Structure 1
């Protein structure tokens, strides 16, 4: 049984490595092709050519980032590498855990790149990964699991805020996945953390640095802060 499990892990490792090789290699093809075309017109054998070289390098970086984002997003979308809520064995042989590992491997480096070069395509990319996101949403923090995250309209998510759609239990060897729902007109403060299964109803304001516990529901129109997040009641004005 142990040998069978070990062989399954090795097989899964090679499958994931192959997927990463194909997807990220495809992302480099356009810039390699563009560079080959450029060399037809500019041979870089004159001094002034090297003054324009940095501009071409910058353009090449932008092209590479764009296609890495595009191809990884299309791959996850087309091959339906989207996991569903539930409690699963944290094993490469478990279907949902395998999908999570693949998405994590593809999405994490792209997400970090988009933190520097957003290119105005971040929300579109999230939609490719299965995230439901309404109009006029500013995502300044980290969405760990886009396919388990739902945003309404007019959401502001502060910098360094994190939304988790999964949590590990290393003692039991499981991974729990649950959907996080954010209603309309919500503000998520900088540095706050939202755990799996949490729900923020419409017009909720979450203070900076607050932690919303797993499965916690923040009621409509209220202000919350602290660890764990609790309602901050408005002080009554003295007459």
Structure 2
């Protein structure tokens, strides 16, 4: 039966791909790739030889109808992004929505996603969290930051390296420089770094170095005063 597969790809280390993902990519009729050159390297590494078609945020509205028609005609197609799980700050949502509307079977494989290891490794609460992705660059950014400052759950953001310090400073201005946070970069790669501390400490740390690689920022939710007093009381009793 024809279907659309969403196949996560490694975020850095090429070994972070499942056997099932490899088998699916070897079995489909066509692979949709965000960047065919980047994906070509991965596919060559695993000796996967299948037709590639470019599918990215600049053409997905135009190409999705043709892809849906090919699946309806009997083809099985896989969608991959440059790194991680399609649809998570990457192309995927629009095509999945279109397929669902046409009654096409869509299957998403489990696999690599940058924010999960960053969250778990942060030392901040993982029981309740919200993935915010990339913040608005200009319009609505300050309003969004003000809203987030009142959230009590852990928050996850993606950011580019050249905007990291500026974004941390904005968090500190709105949420307070003593708010706890963590920054992960180059996850799964040779120069992986996981830095933890207050926003003030992280600003100081990253201001003194050249920052490279993809960035995940984890920020502590607001701790209400009642809970702070309970924590202090428990610490004194223990």
Both proteins in one fold, TM over 0.5: no
Bigger CA radius of gyration? 1
TM-score (norm: length of structure 2):
0.25
Task: Tell me which protein shows more helix as a share of its residues.
Answer: 1
